[in-house]
Amino acid sequence: MTQPTWDLSALVKAADPAAAPAARHLWLVRLIEWLRHAPASRRADAPVGPPLARLGLLLKAADGQPEFRARLQGMLAGFWREVDKAALFAEFGFGARHSLFGEVGRRLRVQWLPQTPDTPDLAELFQLLFRPADARWIERLDDATLERIATLVDPDGASGWRTAMLDAITILVSAVHSSGYLSPLRRRMDSQALAGEPFRQLTRAADAVREAVVEGRHADALREANLLRGLLDACRRAAASVTGHLEEYGVSVDIVYELDQMARRTQRIEMLLDCVLAPQPMPALRALVLELLRVAEDDRGLRRLLARHYSLLARQVAERSAETGSHYITRDRGEWREMLRMAAGGGAVIAGTTYLKFAIAALGLAAFWSGFWSGVNYAASFVVIMLLHWTVATKQPAMTAPAMAESLAAGTGDAEIEAFVDRVAQLIRSQAAGIIGNLAVCAPIALTIQLAWEGIFGVPLVGERQGEYVLHSLTLLGPTLFYAAFTGVLLFASSLIAGWAENWFVYHRLDSAIAWNPRFVARLGAPRAQRWAAWWRANISGLVANVSLGMMLGLVPALASFFALPLEVRHVTLSTGQLAAAAGALGLDVLRAPAFWWCAAGILLTGVLNLTVSFWLAFKVALRSRGIQVRERQRITAAIWRRLRRDPLSFVRPPKG
């Protein structure tokens, strides 16, 4: 709103208690705007200074001028008498639906569509009247000033603000009671937390408080309010127990949203109890208004709403990935040698994948279908590697980062940070073993296939023109590093998709459906159905990760070309296979050409970027899921540097034990 041009006397003259509600509401908006700003054309008697000074001038004028006071009081008292006050106390800041996306839509409408003062709903009018910045001066209002304002708004004390707050408590208790019996929440709550049936008792306790307050039995009201507060604490504990059952039942954005709404409603009930029961209610009322202003600030955008839900969802996805990622971290020499063996098997499969990629490119398909079948080729290869219990090094970081963050689950004390540094060292050793195993097998097999094919059939499997193209595309002098970093993003995205898919699988209890569905049991038999259920539960994350990664590697560049975006992927193992095939096509003399070594350098840095980008993104999600702050991250970084200086070989050489 622009700076107003009216002064106080003009505002009071414009006050008409007999005007339509919309006109009176608009006048009140202008009055509060006047409190924030001095008039544009200042006269000698124009109010200046902060809002508190202008509020003091307003109250002083009302005390000294009966006509002024009558107009002002008529507007304020009429407004307060006619609006729906319970709506502000019970509904402001809460969604009307049990859905996060419904709340997102509501906030977008509030942001993009104009609001009207032609409403009796005080929850809607509140955002027109006040701004979040008003909290700075409202917080400084003393009790005496608040009493003077209350006298103007409610001169005879008959407007029933306590009644409105009691109504709001009833509405809020009803909402908490309803949430407690929602099946997705109740199924996940701990049975011991529900033993006392706190949700069922809420309504009776709230009714007892209301009766005691209305009948003026203050001591009874305090006793019943304490019982109600105890039940609210029990409800919060039951809601908090939901997160302990996510491994068994999974989580959804709507569950996280409803838990957040329930917790905030219980806090609002306690604030309203403070206002209703306090002998001197002004401090409690001021605290309530400040809380409503904080909620108004929170209600104006999507960032805060989504951030509240991101942490728990990120933790769930991170924990799903951590369950898989722990298998990729080596702790001793035996596990390190096993990683070499697994990576060698993966490199052998990728050598075959390389030639299938050349074959698909030779078909001359349209861009989409070439990308699609390339994605199928990659996905099938990755799935075969997974089923044979082998590995591709670049898939490890996005899965191991959440597993590493598990080291910080108990906190960020010295012991936990040292355990985390141990995990970092184990990860680096694992990545070295994975890359060495992949490349040491992929390159020789790809070169052998090329030379053997030409020796048997007399024609090269990959021609010179294709070999020249490989040298041109993989060189470090081109955009290889950008493409390698972009591939790291896809590697991270596949782990995120895998975590989400496993959570979805568990949330919908598909393992139980496979094991016990009558049709499945009749067709497969009970023992086989049980085995299938266990297999899918154990492998759903890996399957989705491999299929999604393969399809993204193939399709994303094709789809980007549709929008004229020159995006390609650079995967270190696939690039190594291509370079080995190109060396076989061009002859071993290519080893003396600078172009070959520029490609070799590009592959080396491609591996670094594939690993670091995917790991950094995954680790950032894992840290966010654990609530690790910037200061704690700095301590972690310092601990890693200390280990590097003290024992650098621990990041390369596995321990003997």
Q: pLDDT tens across 144-169, in order?
A: 888 888 888 877 664 578 889 999 99
SS3 23: helix
User: Could you report the per-residue pLDDT of 209-262, keeping only the tens digit for each?
Assistant: 999 999 999 999 999 999 999 999 999 999 988 877 665 677 676 787 788 889
- Asked if residue 656 is part of any domain, the answer here is no
Q: Is 279:296 a contact under the CB 8 Å cutoff?
A: no
Could you read off the pLDDT of 121-143 as tens digits, one per residue?
888 899 889 888 888 888 888 88
**Are 206 and 171 found together in one domain?**
yes
Tell me how crowded residue 6 is: count the other CB atoms within 10 A of its CB. 16
> Distances in Å between the alpha carbon of 277 and those of 152, 166, 280, 434, 457?
22, 11, 9, 66, 94
CB 411: neighbour CB atoms within 10 A?
A: 11
Q: Are residues 177 and 250 in the same domain?
A: yes
Cα 89 to Cα 264: distance, rounded to the nearest angstrom: 12
Residue 405 has pLDDT above 80, yes or no: no
User: Does 317 reside within a domain?
Assistant: no
Backbone φ and ψ for 251, nearest 5 degrees, come out as -145, 155
| Helix/strand/coil for 84 | strand
- Is there a domain that residue 497 lies in? yes
- Residues 421-426 have a mean pLDDT of 80
Q: How many domains does the chain have?
A: 3
- Rounded Cα–Cα distance for residues 358 and 572 (Å): 16
pLDDT at 2: 44
pLDDT digits (tens, 9 = 90+) for 619-636: 776 666 566 666 777 888
The model's pLDDT over 540-562, given as tens digits with 9 standing for 90+, comes to 888 998 999 999 999 999 999 98
Could you tell me if 76 and 172 lie in one domain? no
Q: Check residue 203 and give its pLDDT.
A: 93
* Helix/strand/coil for 226: helix
Rounded Cα distance, 370 and 373, in Å: 5
Separation between Cα atoms, residue 378 and residue 575, nearest integer Å: 13
DSSP class of 627: T
CA distances from residue 312 to 295, 320, 357 in whole angstroms, order as listed: 21, 12, 40
Decide which of 106 and 383 is more confident. 383
**Mean pLDDT calculated for residue range 408-432:** 76
Three-state DSSP class for residue 551: helix
Q: Mean pLDDT over all residues of the chain? A: 84
The answer to whether position 47 is within a domain reads yes
Residues 340 and 224 grouped into a single domain: no
Contact 430, 339 (CB under 8 A): yes
Sequence-distant (6+) residues with CB within 8 A of 601 are: 476
In this structure, are 646 and 602 located in the same domain?
A: yes
**What tens digit of pLDDT does each residue of 332-373 get?**
788 888 889 999 999 999 999 999 999 999 999 999 999 999
| 292, part of any domain | yes
Domain for residue 546, yes or no? Answer: yes
Q: Is residue 320 part of a domain?
A: no
Mean pLDDT of 78-102: 81
**Cβ proximity of 556 and 543 under 8 Å:** no
Query: What tokens appear for 71 in the block?
Result: 């107009």
For residues 103 and 253, give the distance between their C-alpha atoms in angstroms, rounded to a whole number: 12
Are 556 and 485 in the same domain?
A: yes
Does one domain contain both 379 and 457?
yes
Please tell me the predicted confidence (pLDDT) of residue 632: 77
Provide the CB-side half-sphere exposure for 114 (13 A, CA).
Answer: 4
Amino acid at 606: T
Q: Report yes or no: 651 and 430 within 8 Å, Cβ to Cβ.
A: no
Q: What are the tens digits of pLDDT across the range 32-67?
A: 888 887 444 444 344 434 788 888 888 888 888 888
Q: Are 295 and 339 in a shared domain?
A: no
pLDDT band, residue 1 (cuts 50/70/90): very low
Looking at the fold, whether 425 and 545 belong to one and the same domain comes out as: yes
- Write the DSSP string, 553-601: HHHHHHHHHHTT-------HHHHHHHHHHHHHHH-GGGGGSHHHHHHHH
Tokens coding 637:
């970084």
What is the average per-residue pLDDT within 305-318? 55
Q: Where are the alpha helices (DSSP H) in 478-571?
A: 480-507, 510-516, 518-524, 526-562
Q: pTM of the predicted model, to two decimals?
A: 0.70
Q: Which residue has the tokens 């020249």?
A: 468
Is the Cβ–Cβ distance between 210 and 239 less than 8 Å? no
Distance CA 372, CA 558 (A): 8
Residue 633 burial (C-beta neighbours within 10 Å; 0-12, 13-18, 19+): middle
With beta carbons less than 8 A apart as the criterion, state whether 533 and 511 touch. yes
* Structure confidence at residue 291 (pLDDT): 92
**Tokens read off for 329:** 């971290």
Q: What pLDDT sits at residue 48? A: 38
Domain shared by 165 and 204, yes or no = yes
Kindly indicate the confidence band of residue 207, based on its pLDDT and cuts at 50, 70 and 90.
Answer: very high
The whole domain housing 94 covers 85-116+160-301
The Cα 175–Cα 193 span in angstroms is 19
d(CA 245, CA 528): 27
Q: Are 588 and 522 in contact (CB under 8 A)?
A: no
In a shared domain, residues 177 and 202: yes
Model pLDDT for residues 180-206, shown as the tens digit of each residue: 998 888 888 988 889 889 999 999 999
Residues 201 and 231 reside in one and the same domain: yes
Higher-pLDDT residue of 153, 301 = 153
Give the helix ranges, DSSP H, for 83-217. 85-91, 100-112, 122-129, 135-138, 143-153, 161-180, 183-186, 198-214
Position 309 confidence tier, pLDDT thresholds 50, 70, 90 = low
**Rounded CA gap, 263 and 268, in Å?**
9
Provide the pLDDT for residue 44. Answer: 39
Instruction: Give the Cα separation of 554 and 371 in Å (integer).
Output: 5
Share of the chain above pLDDT 70, in %: 85
Distance, CA of 555 to CA of 568 (rounded, Å) = 10
Q: How far apart are CA 163 and CA 402, in angstroms?
A: 51
pLDDT tens for residues 25-39? 999 998 888 888 744
582's tokens = 């190109």
Q: Is the pLDDT of residue 177 over 80?
A: yes
Calpha distance 375→396 (Å, rounded): 19
Beta bridge mates, 121 = 84
- Answer yes or no: is 321 within a domain: no
What is the arithmetic mean of pLDDT over 584-612?
92
Specify the pLDDT at position 172: 96
Tokens of 521: 């049991």
| Cβ neighbours for 511, distance < 8 A, ≥ 6 positions apart | 505, 533, 534, 536, 537
Identity at 119, one-letter amino acid code: T
**Would you say residue 308 has pLDDT above 80?**
no
Kindly report which listed range (326-340, 463-477, 514-528) carries the lowest average pLDDT score: 326-340
